[in-house]
Structure 1
Amino acid sequence: MSDLPNAAADAASTPAPAAAPEHGRNTLLLVDGSSYLYRAFHAMPDLRAVAGDMTSPATGAIRGMVNMLAALRREVRAHYAACVFDASGPTFRDALYPEYKAQRSPMPPDLRSQIEPIHEVVRLLGWPVLCVPHVEADDVIGTLAAAAAAQGMDVIVSSGDKDLSQLVNERITIIDTMNGKKRDVAGVTAEFGVPPSLMIDYQTLVGDAVDNVPGVPKVGPKTAAKWLLEYGSLEGLLAQADKIKGVAGENLRGAIEWLPKGRELVTIRTDCDLAEHIVGLPSLEGVAMGAQQTEELKAFYQRFGFKGLVQSLNEQEQPPELIEKSKKPGRSPDPGLFDEPEVQAAEKVSNVRYDTILDWAAFDTWFARVQAAGLVAIDTETTSLDEMRAEIVGISWSVEAGEAAYIPLTHDYPDAPAQLPRDEVLARLKPWLEDASRAKLGQHVKYDRHVFANHGIEVGGYRHDTMLQSYVLEVHKPHGLGSLAERHLGRSGISYEDLCGKGASQIPFSQVSIDKAAEYSCEDSDQTLDVHNTLWPRLEADEKLRYIYELEMKSSEALYRIERNGVMIDAERLAQQSHQLGQRILELEQQAHELAGQPFNLGSPKQIGEIFFVKLGLPVVKKTPSGAPSTDEEVLEKLAEDYPLPARILEHRGLSKLKGTYTDKLGTLALPRTGRVHTHYAQAVAVTGRLSSNDPNLQNIPVRTAEGRRVREAFVAPPGSVIASADYSQIELRIMAHLSSDEALLRAFQDGLDVHRATAAEVFGVAVEEVASEQRRYAKVINFGLIYGMSSFGLAKNLGIETKAAAAYIDRYFQRFAGVKRYMDETRASAKEKGYVETVFGRRLYLPEINSPNGPRRGGAERAAINAPMQGTAADLIKLSMVEVQKVLDEQQRATRMIMQVHDELVFEVPESEADWVRTEVPRIMAGVAALQVPLLAEIGFGSNWEAAH
């Protein structure tokens, strides 16, 4: 194995210690600019040079880079620095391996257009910029890091790229500012299971899927680390390769010829010739950090619409007393659309004051401030992420940006200081917490409501939720507090993993030292208030978005009630279903073995492929990227049309998933103290506004199969009650009729016709009463297919007809429903101009790929532009219904409880004495939540279980 390259050997050696640095003079700070700009692009909102004009230049990545570099420069003192970017064009790795990075998607056009301005502003901020042709940024970083370390300097590399871990030694450290991760020698060893000196060998074995560099097939991080620790190195491992047993050993021996090339591809070079790009090498004065060029920066910021940053620069030139006079309390000088100067916001709170409350005097002092405040941010620290089981460990609050306090209550590590008694603290807080007139704020308040409820406190007065503010304003971006603080304030914070660790070694929060817990929790409350002060003015200024935000806040309260109610599960019935499914699964396995003529693993694509295409000679439907015949679900469905074995495998897979996901587990998920299953509804996930359900997921029960529908039989009502299921009829088609104002569709719904039969009459040119069942089926597929942007090819496949015939049906449909065609064309055009579409109620649904040069991606975005307003409006309607029904139940003090919300359906647990009222009133309320051009119709059914109610 002597032919394996070892280009990073010098970087891994430890130089002699140097004198202590003076103001960072002995430190080199290297920024992985390519990593930064992608992070900035995906983290920031879709900003434009002219706010709201989607045709003006994109600026989000530029703004993010300014924020991130400003924050980094404050945190790391370094005399020498460089921001390193990848140059366009091929590198030596492309020549070595033509498939290198072949699977990577092209850079989004809106990011590509920001590259040159980013290089420009980075230079103006004082950072030396390096972009070396034919050399990747990682290699430039590796070369500079190794050279500086050899001179006795400390090197800090700021990047989220784990591949750079191979450079780490006693002098070189990687920091990831986005999540607070530090990769020094101990950090790399803890994260990957091997020291930095073995990282090249580790990466060679594991491969790099992102860069399309194969490793040893089926060898993951754990196996790679185990082998390297056992055999000392890749060379030592290969010398003993014949002793490695099993499939892993076979794969290792099969990869021996590839591994030298793979190692060369993953090895970061530390010997690049950079003399043409850095003056004075080996001296690093050519990458000395410079001063920002203020006047040029002002002109740059003005060019790209960063009014807040211009204001920040102007303030830097003013005497301090003038700056103070120009500011309004708690607000930036210019609170316009994304004009809050993030860099300034970060500096504003750099001198934070966080208190820890350990006695009643401190409690009384802070509680007096809380009671006098107009809005208080609250955060709880708990024993669990499961909101129904979590108990409070501590509470923090903030009433002013930069100031917060933490009340530790049940920290129980050795030598923990005495803390105020939890029950007494909560008793004192309860009247204020439950007072709806006392305005409160949180991040994901539904969770905190549950936590307080676990202690007998029903919190009132939650006015704001920063997670939901972000969800309404920028649905396509992350909504975690860390992301929000980074994106809008330029502030980074402590992560939960920093405090508690992760995996098997993670400790409970109660064992975190109080001083660290206080900093973490106070930071959360403080940042929540700071983020709110940035986002709320934008919502306040936009009437439509404010309406959606208010709907989300009310929905959060209703969902809290639904989650709290839970649903009864018949565990015995589920156990019977599991037993029956298990028997059927065994039968299918035996039948599959008989059809194959041999035993095989029905879960192994490799074994299935060998039997299908080698032994049985079945036709190859499609191939995997590596060229092997595919056996994915689509292939199995196609082959199942003509062959019994694929049909058995498909059924086996479906039933195994149903058994493992639902019938085996549902009965075990009941909360002991309630005897019910309490699902969690994630409110800020789907870009359309739809809810998602998990632990358990109630929305993915496969109700199209008889076995799947039987699972719903286990959702039952207690004695004396029944289950009621209410849902909207053909809601998305009704929304299409409203949005398109198509006369024929409007008339069909207004006259109460069967819309599929009416469509068939129009498309096939026959009277409504003469429509055959097959024609109605075709019309139904066309109706729903066009809503989801189905092409003639997709329609042909769905109906089992020729593509030409499907295209003719679509043409005829658009001739008869010209309003639908007009709506679709206008919506696509509007989406391309604005970058988003809207629901009937004003929810914005962003489409980042709508102007992509990549045809398939653009086509997907165009289909989403048609469908998203309908899905989003349907989501808005069911939320409006949920909120209104809960309001009426409360006002009339009904015993009926809402227990589930699934797609367009509300499910209730109804006392038999209230069944008649629910049968009449719930559909009426649901139909009346909005006035569209067509009537809304809600239908309801009753039964002893959920399935029977359908």
Structure 2
Amino acid sequence: MKKRLLIIDGSSLFFRAFYALPLLKTKKGLYTNAIYGFVMMLENAIEKIDPSNVVVCFDMKGKTFRNDIYGDYKGTRQKTPSELEQQFPLVRDILKMMNIKVLESPVYEADDIAGTLSKKASEEGYETYLLTGDKDYYQLVDENTKVLLTRKGIKEMDVISVESIKEDFGITPEQFIDLKGLMGDNSDNIPGVPGVGEKTGLKLIHQFETMENLYDHVDEVSGKKLKEKLNDNKAQAFMSKKLGTIVRNVPIDEEIEDFKKQEYDFENLSNMYREFEFNSLLDRLPSEYHKEEIAMSSEENFVWDDLEIDEIIKNIKSKKSFSFKIITDGKIYENVEPLYLVLKAKDENPNFIKLNNSEDLLKFREIFEAEEIEILGHSLKEDLITLLHLGIDFKNIAHDSIIAEYLLNSTQSDYDINNLTNAYFSRGYKDEEELLGKGKKKKGFKDLSEEELKTYFAFYLNAIYKLREVQINKIIEQEMTELYYEVELPLVEVLSSMELIGINTKESVLDEIGLSLNDKIKDLEEKIYAESGEEFNINSPKKLGEILFEKMGFPVIKKTKTGYSTAADVLEKLKGHGEIVDYVLEYRKLTKLKSTYVDGLKELINKDTGRIHSHFNQTVTSTGRISSTEPNLQNIPIRTEEGRLIRKSLLASEDHLLVDADYSQIELRVLADLSKDKNMIDAFLDDDDIHARTASEVFKVPLDEVTSLLRSQAKAVNFGIVYGISDYGLSQNLNIPRKEAGTYIDNYLEHYSGIKDYMDEEIKKGKEIGYVKTILNRRRYIPELNAKNFNIRSFGERVALNTPIQGSAADIIKIAMVKVYKSLKENNLKSKLILQIHDELIVDADKNEVKEVEKLMKDLMENAVKMDIPLKIDMQVGSSLYETK
């Protein structure tokens, strides 16, 4: 076998992998993108050059000899993201299982070790390849040494040789050291000669060959300014050259023969790949180490039948189970007609029906409405909206693979069915983006051939059944059957109905609000101009910075690359230096309110229905909370009068009133119930004002002397504890010294000692089992809890405290939504559940049913779950959401 050494620049590859790939996460919440990208690049390089010997060189943390030469060496490097930092030890575990040695030094960098090894290998007759993303390695290239330079993500790599360097740059590898001295390196904070870039640097090297020769003949340099720069920065240039020179005599105990490529520890490596969900890497291992729970690779997954409708219905009735998808390029309430219906009876091939219009779906009404026939799908909300629009009353939704996967892995960012099949079975087909493209070139389903659609959706419907088997087993194993079947699955129908119905909105009301805001914005503009002494573009951070910090002389808080920072946190710190600061903050708030909500909501009003149909998302938040988009109803501001005005535009339907029921302090009640803290339980049972009572204990004042300010601060402490706030975070929220904030927290935990015990136990348990749970066993995996880095571990602890509380509150609200929706439906009421905003449920109630709806909501919401602390709601009725608050 040819003597061929592969040297891997581990640190360079690891960073490249992290930034080249999206933030991949396992079902347990472990970040893996850097590990995956690193191993893929390593394996691709091994496959490409077939080395006899392999070694990886890493940088160690801390300063090296170069920092002794130049104190600011690498001084501009950003702090390593925590998502990357926690992956470092894991990639070392993989390298150990690959039997690949790792070299590092507390004095030298990875490129110095690589340079020394390549020199030694060359002398011993090895052909050497250096895998890196760093062009500094070009200086190491010789007749026996080449660089494998990574390009464009993690897949492509170029082979850099003496010949290619000469062809591309017109210089030798050694001359790259001179070039580095002249142009410096921003990434390493090597200064070089200011104003000399690659083009000028190469021109000088072509003319003078070396830096020494350049400075011996500096008078021959053309251009007065360039000559001045070279003379003024001579010492800096030679220092930069020294910094950029790779050391090739690092003391290394190992011999090249010690890096001989060995067989992997396939058993442990395959287990780790499964844990990290690296299915494509599993495929690279010998076949006996592949593990497919259910095959997804056979051709049957892409076969379909062309049966008549009667025959399809007969098969489904016989099997009592079918999966389906309505293929469409839009929403039915936006008058976008569906294109096709695909159905698959259990254990049968899928069928493909071209639709003339949505009415064709009514031909299948009997199977959708049959109680004994189970219905399966993926992302069923979109399908159910269409069925509800047609008046189809489906009875037996049995499985939605996107909802099941969300329960099993709430931190995942993409639940595309292809990704799920790849994750579970190491086999897929293609995801929707591959099918349709993206950006301006994205196609609709209408643009695809029937052959493409049939192949994709045959795979899609088969995958739903295969996914169901493994997902349900895991849900049972994790004791989430109640959460899945009684809450999350029924909620799909609830959200479908809410989106389809929408909320009545009047453009004329928004116009009135807009005019009012315009007057206030205009008044603020005039005040800002008067304070500054000139008219300027208030929306320009650069111009505003010049006005505040240069013209008006305010103290500079923070600088950016383009000038002065005028971010909100900066302006908050400038309060008290001049009224202009308050005016600018108010101006920004009102202009955002107008553009986002007044103008934004007008664009979202459906021209046919006169309503806004917000899209409710069930699989986005890691805590279990529902989110919404177009518009984001959770973000409508209510703390200011101007913000509350937006709610005036959200109206009851004709001859209806809005019944708004808002859970009172639900998260604090959940905290009291979970912690069993006697003092907090007593406060709720006595129906005390919990924030006033907390203020009395935390600030050591009698209850009757608690002011509104103290109550407000106590409220911040109460909710801060729920969110795992630190003394620093509380000090920022209340604008008080950190020590004082720490005292508040200590006093709080001293009084509510049961909460402190609960918090300590929750973190301890989370570290032991790797996850925390809600009252309905909703899990969130938190690998950060066992991180060595303090900041990462602290983040994990905050998540561990917050998730059971926020997640349990989400469980309760979802239970209430399902119960209210079902009760309205079963009682044949005209009133409909239309909105969920934070802890509020809003029913658009027929005026003749208001009293019945109020009673129904109070009973169902306050008895959604059994707790030691009674749940309470605040209920208001009005013609708009403004009137209900």
Query: What range describes the TM-score normalised by the shorter chain of this pair?
Result: 0.7 to 0.9
Match of 1:588 in 2: 524
Among 631, 638, 654, the alignment partner of 1:703 is 638
Q: Is the 8 A contact 2:542 2:564 kept in 1?
A: no
Match of 1:298 in 2: 267
The SS at the match of 2:843 is strand
Q: Is the 8 A contact 2:31 2:83 kept in 1?
A: no
Match of 1:493 in 2: 429
Q: Is the 8 A contact 2:509 2:649 kept in 1?
A: yes
- What is the CA-CA distance between 1:504 and the residue it aligns to? 2.5
Q: Check if 1:396 corresponds to 2:342.
A: yes
Amino acid at match of 2:661: A
| Structure 2 CA distance for aligned equivalents of residues 628 and 59 of structure 1 | 35
- What is the CA-CA distance between 1:889 and the residue it aligns to? 1.1
Relative to 1, partners in 2 of residues 1:407 and 1:123: Cα closer, same or farther, differing over 3 Å? Answer: farther
Relative to 1, partners in 2 of residues 1:468 and 1:88: Cα closer, same or farther, differing over 3 Å? Answer: farther
Relative to 1, partners in 2 of residues 1:480 and 1:778: Cα closer, same or farther, differing over 3 Å? Answer: closer
Amino acid at match of 1:378: F
Amino acid at match of 1:908: V
Match of 2:95 in 1: 119
Alignment map for 1:152-301 (pairs within 5 Å) = 160-161=153-154, 296-298=265-267
| Structure 2 CA distance for aligned equivalents of residues 853 and 935 of structure 1 | 41
| Structure 2 CA distance for aligned equivalents of residues 375 and 157 of structure 1 | 50
Q: Is the 8 A contact 2:74 2:187 kept in 1?
A: no
Q: Which runs of 5+ in 2 are unaligned?
A: 1-8, 101-109, 116-129, 142-147, 161-184, 192-201, 204-225, 242-247
Match of 1:43 in 2: 25
- What is the CA-CA distance between 1:572 and the residue it aligns to? 0.6
Match of 2:369 in 1: 434
Q: Is the 8 A contact 2:495 2:616 kept in 1?
A: yes
| Structure 2 CA distance for aligned equivalents of residues 912 and 845 of structure 1 | 43
| Structure 2 CA distance for aligned equivalents of residues 654 and 104 of structure 1 | 33
| Structure 2 CA distance for aligned equivalents of residues 209 and 484 of structure 1 | 41
| Structure 1 CA distance for aligned equivalents of residues 630 and 707 of structure 2 | 44
Q: Check if 1:348 corresponds to 2:295.
A: yes
Relative to 1, partners in 2 of residues 1:887 and 1:303: Cα closer, same or farther, differing over 3 Å? Answer: closer
| Structure 1 CA distance for aligned equivalents of residues 750 and 549 of structure 2 | 46
Relative to 1, partners in 2 of residues 1:772 and 1:495: Cα closer, same or farther, differing over 3 Å? Answer: closer
Q: Is the 8 A contact 2:320 2:374 kept in 1?
A: yes
Q: Which runs of 5+ in 1 are unaligned?
A: 1-29, 48-57, 125-130, 148-154, 169-207, 215-233, 236-252, 266-271, 281-285, 319-340, 411-420
- What is the CA-CA distance between 1:609 and the residue it aligns to? 1.4
- What is the CA-CA distance between 1:166 and the residue it aligns to? 8.4
- What is the CA-CA distance between 1:937 and the residue it aligns to? 0.7
Q: Is the 8 A contact 1:690 1:872 kept in 2?
A: yes
- What is the CA-CA distance between 1:638 and the residue it aligns to? 2.6
Amino acid at match of 1:486: N
| Structure 1 CA distance for aligned equivalents of residues 732 and 31 of structure 2 | 42
Q: Is the 8 A contact 1:722 1:944 kept in 2?
A: yes
Match of 2:627 in 1: 692
Amino acid at match of 2:322: V
Match of 1:569 in 2: 505
Q: What per-residue deviation string (whole Å, max 9, x for no partner) do you get for residues 245-297 of structure 1? A: xxxxxxxx9xx999xx9xx99xxxxxx9xxx9xx99xxxxx999x9x87xx52
Q: Is the 8 A contact 2:774 2:804 kept in 1?
A: yes
Alignment map for 1:556-705 (pairs within 5 Å) = 556-620=492-556, 622-624=557-559, 626=561, 629-705=564-640
| Structure 2 CA distance for aligned equivalents of residues 87 and 307 of structure 1 | 22
The SS at the match of 2:534 is coil
Q: Is the 8 A contact 2:332 2:385 kept in 1?
A: no
Alignment map for 1:864-943 (pairs within 5 Å) = 864-943=799-878
Relative to 1, partners in 2 of residues 1:797 and 1:37: Cα closer, same or farther, differing over 3 Å? Answer: closer
Give the TM-score taking structure 2 as reference length.
0.74
Among 102, 108, 111, the alignment partner of 2:78 is 102
| Structure 2 CA distance for aligned equivalents of residues 919 and 747 of structure 1 | 28
Specify the structure having the higher radius of gyration (Cα). 2
Q: Is the 8 A contact 1:346 1:489 kept in 2?
A: yes
| Structure 2 CA distance for aligned equivalents of residues 931 and 709 of structure 1 | 33
Match of 2:649 in 1: 714
Amino acid at match of 1:948: E
Among 309, 323, 345, the alignment partner of 1:377 is 323
Relative to 1, partners in 2 of residues 1:924 and 1:349: Cα closer, same or farther, differing over 3 Å? Answer: closer
- What is the CA-CA distance between 1:548 and the residue it aligns to? 4.7
Relative to 1, partners in 2 of residues 1:751 and 1:374: Cα closer, same or farther, differing over 3 Å? Answer: same
Q: Is the 8 A contact 1:836 1:844 kept in 2?
A: yes
Q: Is the 8 A contact 2:326 2:341 kept in 1?
A: yes
Relative to 1, partners in 2 of residues 1:70 and 1:887: Cα closer, same or farther, differing over 3 Å? Answer: farther
| Structure 1 CA distance for aligned equivalents of residues 849 and 313 of structure 2 | 45
Q: Is the 8 A contact 2:312 2:351 kept in 1?
A: no
Q: Is the 8 A contact 2:379 2:402 kept in 1?
A: yes
- What is the CA-CA distance between 1:877 and the residue it aligns to? 0.9
Relative to 1, partners in 2 of residues 1:213 and 1:450: Cα closer, same or farther, differing over 3 Å? Answer: farther
- What is the CA-CA distance between 1:751 and the residue it aligns to? 1.6
Q: Check if 1:784 corresponds to 2:719.
A: yes
Amino acid at match of 2:868: Q
The SS at the match of 1:475 is coil
How big is the alpha-carbon RMSD for the aligned residues of Structure 1 and Structure 2? Answer: 5.4
| Structure 1 CA distance for aligned equivalents of residues 621 and 188 of structure 2 | 29
- What is the CA-CA distance between 1:507 and the residue it aligns to? 2.8
Amino acid at match of 1:502: K
Give the TM-score taking structure 1 as reference length.
0.70
- What is the CA-CA distance between 1:211 and the residue it aligns to? 10
Match of 2:445 in 1: 509
Q: What per-residue deviation string (whole Å, max 9, x for no partner) do you get for residues 737-761 of structure 1? A: 1111111111111122222233234
Relative to 1, partners in 2 of residues 1:806 and 1:46: Cα closer, same or farther, differing over 3 Å? Answer: closer
| Structure 1 CA distance for aligned equivalents of residues 451 and 817 of structure 2 | 43
Q: Is the 8 A contact 2:306 2:352 kept in 1?
A: no
Q: Is the 8 A contact 2:17 2:34 kept in 1?
A: no
Stretch of structure 1 that moved more, 438-447 or 662-671? 662-671
| Structure 2 CA distance for aligned equivalents of residues 669 and 896 of structure 1 | 24
Q: Is the 8 A contact 1:581 1:659 kept in 2?
A: yes
Q: Is the 8 A contact 2:834 2:842 kept in 1?
A: yes
Q: What per-residue deviation string (whole Å, max 9, x for no partner) do you get for residues 174-195 of structure 1? A: xxxxxxxxxxxxxxxxxxxxxx
Among 856, 875, 885, the alignment partner of 2:791 is 856
Q: Is the 8 A contact 2:820 2:857 kept in 1?
A: yes
Q: Is the 8 A contact 2:73 2:189 kept in 1?
A: no
| Structure 1 CA distance for aligned equivalents of residues 78 and 406 of structure 2 | 34
Relative to 1, partners in 2 of residues 1:758 and 1:897: Cα closer, same or farther, differing over 3 Å? Answer: same
Amino acid at match of 2:811: D
Q: Is the 8 A contact 2:302 2:459 kept in 1?
A: no
Alignment map for 1:76-155 (pairs within 5 Å) = 87-89=58-60, 98=74, 102-105=78-81, 111-121=87-97, 134=114, 137-139=131-133
| Structure 2 CA distance for aligned equivalents of residues 141 and 370 of structure 1 | 62
Q: Is the 8 A contact 2:385 2:496 kept in 1?
A: yes
- What is the CA-CA distance between 1:936 and the residue it aligns to? 0.8
Q: What per-residue deviation string (whole Å, max 9, x for no partner) do you get for residues 21-49 of structure 1? A: xxxxxxxxx999847799699332339xx
The SS at the match of 2:24 is helix
Match of 2:490 in 1: 554
Amino acid at match of 2:768: E
Relative to 1, partners in 2 of residues 1:398 and 1:841: Cα closer, same or farther, differing over 3 Å? Answer: same
Relative to 1, partners in 2 of residues 1:67 and 1:383: Cα closer, same or farther, differing over 3 Å? Answer: farther
Relative to 1, partners in 2 of residues 1:611 and 1:307: Cα closer, same or farther, differing over 3 Å? Answer: closer
Q: What is the count of residue pairs matched by the alignment?
A: 778
The SS at the match of 1:936 is coil
- What is the CA-CA distance between 1:940 and the residue it aligns to? 0.6
